[in-house]
Amino acid sequence: MGFLYGCTSSATNAEDPQPQKEKPALQIFRLEKQSFTSSIRIPGELIAFEQVDIYAKVNSFIKKLYVDVGSEVTSGQLLATTEAPELTEQLDAAASKLKSQEAVYLASKANYDRLYETSQTPGTVSQNDIDQALAKKNSDFAQLEAAKSAYKEISDTRDYLQIRAPFSGVISARNVSTGAYVGPSGKGSELPIFTLQQQKKLRLVISVPEAYTGYINNKVNIDFTTRAIPQEKFKATVKRMAGALDNKLRSERIEMDVINEDKKLLPGMVAEVSLPLPSADSTFVVPQTAVVNSTEKLFVIKVASQQAKWIDIKKGRVQGNQVEIYGDLFPGDSLVTKASEEIRNGSAIPRVTTVKQ
């Protein structure tokens, strides 16, 4: 009975073998060039369009302050007056010297004029006397001009005792009080008297990484938000580009002008900038699943003559699940939609299914 059982089992296995499952067809897509516009989000900073620390031009004492923190001022407006008694004394001395030199010059000029008129009668005055009188008049005139310059220099210096706004803006800091001793930076004042900012127009500054600098131009419009007003979007246009990379950050400084008439935005605010990266030419764009990022290299898998071929590439911009690639590729090439290292270079690909990209 055991022998018969064994025969029956063997015959059954031979007549009803298990069928092998056929591998599914590999999905591929046709490579095509297309325009690709992406964007990146970059932190930025809002700074005053113009900002200046205002120091006293000469060593002096604060006599009166006319503005304070938050004051809106116009160009040329008087901000403070200072006093320096020694300047008044120097100006008085220069004025006295100027008057004295005027008298000397007038005397030498009158002497020369008399000699010249007398010399019109032949033999009355020697030519040497006339030459000496002319030289004395010219020397006294030069001394008079020097006295005038000295007086004007001291007078102009005294005008610096009145501190005025160089441009229209807002006083954002005041560091002194009446009676304080002030002077040029490092020679009387460690801190400025005032800090003046232009706030109705701001600069939005961002640093664009090297990989994206080729897509930026002076016509790019951007949107940005701030942490203080997250519900509102603001707009700006690229105005200035550094044209060079920062040696440490390897990025390019980009500036945009922001009109801020309502002063809703403040200098120092942090902005989140959405920077579009338009492409001038069409490029190859593929799904991210078609790119294999191995430990050795970056590649896509091309299918040609029923064989897989690894093609080295470089990645460009990324937007969503799409990525821009560069490599030894041509329009119409067939690439594997879901590539992996399991599909070995040179392996046979007997069956494929073409899908839309």
Contact (CB, 8 A) for 286 and 335: yes
Q: Which three-class secondary structure state does DSSP give residue 43?
A: strand
Domain of residue 227, CATH code: 2.40.30.170
Cβ-Cβ contacts under 8 Å for 278 (sequence gap 6 or more) = 37, 215, 220
Give the per-residue pLDDT at 119: 84
| pLDDT at residue 4 in the model | 38
Predicted local distance difference test score (pLDDT) of residue 171: 96
Has this prediction a pTM greater than 0.75? no
Are 285 and 349 within one domain? yes
Of the residues 258, 277, 296, the one at which a domain ends: 277
CATH number at residue 107: 1.10.287
Range of the domain at 174: 54-82+163-197
Same domain (yes/no): 122, 155: yes
Residues 64 and 170 in one domain: yes
Judge if 140 and 116 occupy the same domain: yes
- Look at residue 10 in the predicted model and tell me its pLDDT: 42
**The domain boundary residue, chosen from 197, 217, 248:** 197
Q: Which two tokens stand for residue 66?
A: 């006319």
The answer to whether residue 6 sits within a structural domain is no
Q: How far is 151 from 56, CA to CA, in rounded Å? A: 21
One digit per residue, the tens of pLDDT, for the chain of length 357 reads 343 334 444 444 444 455 555 667 889 899 988 877 778 899 999 999 999 999 998 888 999 999 999 999 999 999 999 998 888 888 889 999 999 999 999 999 999 888 888 888 887 888 888 889 899 999 999 999 999 999 898 888 888 899 999 999 999 999 999 999 898 876 667 889 999 999 999 999 999 998 888 878 777 888 999 999 999 999 998 899 998 998 888 999 999 999 999 989 999 999 999 988 877 667 888 999 999 998 889 999 999 988 999 999 998 888 788 888 989 999 999 999 999 999 999 999 888 888 876
Give the tokens for residue 254.
């980009």
Q: What is each CA distance from 234 to 36, 195, 207, 221, 262, in whole angstroms?
A: 25, 27, 19, 11, 13
Domain boundary, last residue among 146, 181, 197: 197
Residues 179, 62 share a domain: yes
Q: Measured between alpha carbons, how far is 196 from 186 in angstroms, rounded to an integer?
A: 19
pLDDT at 2: 43
Do residues 203 and 193 both lie within one domain? Answer: no
Residue 14 has what pLDDT?
A: 46
Is 209 a member of any domain?
A: yes
| 344 and 216 co-located in one domain | no
Q: How far is the C-alpha of 181 from the C-alpha of 264, rounded, in Å? A: 36
* DSSP conformation class of 4: H
Alpha helices of the chain — where are they, by DSSP H? 2-15, 85-118, 127-159
The rounded Cα 121 to chain-centroid distance in angstroms is 78
Structure tokens at 155: 């007078």
Q: What is the pLDDT of residue 99?
A: 93
Is 212 part of any domain?
A: yes
**Cβ atoms of residues 255 and 205 within 8 Å:** yes
What pLDDT is stored for residue 23 in this prediction? 65
At 281, list the tokens: 């030419």
Q: In degrees rounded to 5, what are phi and psi of residue 299?
A: -155, 165
